[in-house]
Amino acid sequence: MATLGTTFVGAWAFMGGSPKPAQKTPPIQASSKDEENFIQDFLKQAEAEEKGKAGAKH
């Protein structure tokens, strides 16, 4: 019983803890707010195209 208890408590302790933070993108170093918006829109379009191509593979 002690062995099983130790095993389950140990597993529970190791699985606990804080979750990993979401992966953040590097900061955009734009010279103006318009440039920053352009870069963000471009990245969104590129990700959408990439997802579209990934779904079309046979």
The mean pLDDT values, 10 residues at a time, for the chain of 58 residues are 88 73 74 93 92 68
Q: What is the pLDDT of residue 10?
A: 83
Q: What is the pLDDT of residue 18?
A: 63
Separation of CA 9 from chain center:
29
Domain limits, the chain:
28-58
Say which residues have a Cβ less than 8 Å from residue 36's Cβ, sequence separation at least 6. Answer: 28, 30
pLDDT at position 56 is 58
pTM, rounded to two decimals: 0.47
